[in-house]
Amino acid sequence: MPNMSKKLREVIERVQTWPEERQEDAARILSEMERQDQSNLRLTDEQAAEVRRRLAEKDPKSITLAEFNEHLRQRYGA
């Protein structure tokens, strides 16, 4: 595997010592990453910035389902 980074090579070597069940977990995670990379769905720069902003909120506001539905009604007329 000549194109593998040193860091990944080191992790793979450690993973080989894990129990089979944990190795399967790692394989599922990597397969999911691969599947996501093949998806045509992408966030715009604006959407990605909004996700980062929301993740950075120290105390995100929780809203009720009624508040959420009202927000949708106001925004989309639904």
Give Cβ neighbours of residue 23 (< 8 Å, ≥ 6 apart).
15, 16
Running DSSP on this structure, what letter comes out for residue 18?
Answer: S
C-alpha 37/C-alpha 31 separation (Å) is 10
Convert the pLDDT of each residue in 8-62 to its tens digit. Answer: 999 999 999 999 999 999 999 999 999 999 999 899 999 999 999 888 988 877 8
Residue 38: what pLDDT?
Answer: 93
How much is the pTM? 0.52
